[in-house]
Amino acid sequence: MSATLSTGTPDVQITETDCFIDGKWVPASSGKTFATVNPATEEEITQIAEGDADDVDAAAKAARHAFENGEWPKMDARDRGRLMYKLADRIESEIDALARLETLDNGKPIGDSRNVDLPLAIDCIRYYAGYADKIHGSTIPIRGNHLCYTRREPIGVAGQIIPWNFPLLMTAWKWGPALAAGCTIVMKPAEQTPLTCLRLAQLAKEVGFPDGVINVIPGFGPTAGAACVKHPLIDKIAFTGEHRTAQIITRDSADTLKRLTFELGGKSPNVIFADADMDAAAQGAYVGLFLNQGQCCCAGSRVFVESSKHDEFLDKLQKLASKRKVGDPFAADTEQGPQVDKDQFDKIMSYIDKGKSEGANCVTGGNRVGDKGYFIEPTVFTDVNDEMSIATDEIFGPVLSVLTFDDKEDMIRRANNTFYGLAAAVWTRDISIAHDFAARVRAGTVWVNCYDVFDAAAPFGGFKMSGYGRELGEEGLKAYTESKTVTVAL
C-alpha cells in the first residue's frame, strides 16, 4: 500500500444548498442547517438546509399537484423521454464539474467519479428515457362478449431515500424509472453527501422539467426520511441502505400501505475454484472488495478459495493490495480515498480489531493512513472461519476475508449461510460448476468469472434480507407502475 495524503482540492463551485420544492430553492422551514464535510480533510465544505417534516409536506403537496394537475400527467410519454435525454445530455456537458463535486463530498477518487459513476448515471437516464413511450399493457381473452385489456399507470408520488456511497449514481437509478413511468418525486439524499443530488435538481429545472416533478429535501433519516415514509400523499418508498432502516420503514409505512422497494446490504460470497484463472480471480477479488473504499453493498467480502490454491491466490491478492495507492482523492493516480465519515471510519477500525481479537490473521493493512482524513489501509485477513464477526457482518469498508473450502456442496451451503442475498461470484473454467453455482446460491446477482459488472438493462436487487424488488432494467421500471384492468362490454 502506498499513500499520498497531501490534498490538492480544486475549486468546486457550490450553488445549491437549500431544499428544492416545486421548482424553487427555499431554506428549511425551521431555518436549520447542517454541515457537509470533506472526508479527506475533515473540514466543513458548506452548510446545507436541514429539511424536516414541514419541508417534506410542502414537497409532497407539490409533487401531488404536479402529478394530478400539472403539465406532467398531460405530457406525451415520448416528450417525457425527450426531457430525460436533455437531462442526460446536460449532465454529460458538466461531467467534469460534477465529478469534482462528487469527489469533494464523498471522498472517492476523481478517476472513479469521472470514469465510472458519471458515465453509468448518464447511461441509466438515457436507458429509461428510451423506455418512456414503451410501457405497454396487454389484451386478455376473457369469457363473454367483452374486450379486456390492462394499462400500466404511474404509481404516483415516489419517495426516494438514497445512500452516501454512490450519491449521483443512486440519484440516477431512482429518478430514471420513476420519471419514465410518469411519477413525480420527493427525494431525500444522504446527509453525508447531498451536493450532487441538489445540483442535478437544478439541471433538471434548467432543461425544462415542470415545477413539482422533482423535489429534493436534504436532511436526516429520523426527521426528513421518516416524514417521507409516513406522508399520506406519497405512494411509494424506494430505499437503498441498511436492512435495519428498511425494517423501520416497513413498520412506519403500514398505516398508508405504501408500495416498497428495498436494495439493502450484503455479505457476498466470491468463490474461486482450483481450475480458475488465478490472475483474473485475484484481480476480480481485489476490485470486488476494494472498489469505492469497500463501501459497496455487493462487495465480495467473503472470498472462498479452494484449499489447494489458497497460497497462490493469496500471494497474488496481497501484491495487488499492497500496491494500492491510498491518498488525495483529487490526485489522478489515487486508487483509494477516505471512508465517507468518522462514524464509518470508526466502525471499520472496530471490525479490524475484532478480526484480530477473534483469531484471524491480518496479512495486509489493518491500520489508519495518516492522521487527518478517514483513510484506512486495504486490509486482508486469512485464517477466517464462518463464525467470526468479519465473516458474518457487513463491514462496508476495505476489509477482505479469505476462507478456504475443499468440497463444493459444503461451499454452497456456507455461501448461503447468511441472512443476506445480494450478490455472489464464482471463478471456474467448468461451465457445469458455474451454472450449478448460479442456480443454487441465493443471491439476486451472480457473476461468473467477473465481478461488479453493471448495466442499466440488468436488474439488480437482493434475496432474503438484502431487500425486495429490483432496481434497473424493465423490472425496475415496473416497480413504479400499477396495473389496471379495463373490461368493456361489446
Active site residues: 263, 297
Shortest CA distance to 265 belongs to which of 297, 295, 311? 297
Q: Which of 319-355 are b and which e, b meaning 16 or more Cβ less than 10 Å from the residue's Cβ?
A: ebbeebbbbbbbbeebbbbbbbbeebbeebbebbeeb
Chain CA centroid to CA 141, Å: 41
Query: Which cell is 97 given?
Result: 464539474
- The answer for residues whose C-beta is within 8 angstroms of residue 306's C-beta and 6 or more apart is 272, 273, 274, 404, 405, 406
Neighbours of 115 (CB within 10 A): 13
Contacts of 45 (CB under 8 A, 6+ apart): 14, 35, 36, 37, 38, 104, 105, 195
H-helix segments, 134-277? 167-181, 195-207, 226-230, 243-252
**Is beta strand 467-468 parallel, antiparallel or unpaired with respect to 259-263?**
antiparallel
Count other Cβ atoms within 10 Å, centred on residue 85: 15
Which uninterrupted H or E stretch holds 270?
A: strand 269-272
Read off the DSSP letter of residue 465: G
- The residues near 187 (Cβ < 8 Å, ≥ 6 apart) are 159, 160, 161, 162, 171, 174, 175, 197, 214, 215, 216, 217
How many alpha carbons lie under 13 Å from residue 152 in its C-beta half-sphere?
Answer: 20
Q: Other CB atoms closer than 10 Å to residue 53's CB: what's the count?
A: 18
CA distance 273 to 376: 30
Q: Which helix (H) or strand (E) holds 473?
A: helix 473-478
CB 377 within 8 A of CB 352: no
Angle at 209 between CA 22 and CA 126, to 5 degrees: 135
User: Grid coordinates in use for 229?
Assistant: 415514509
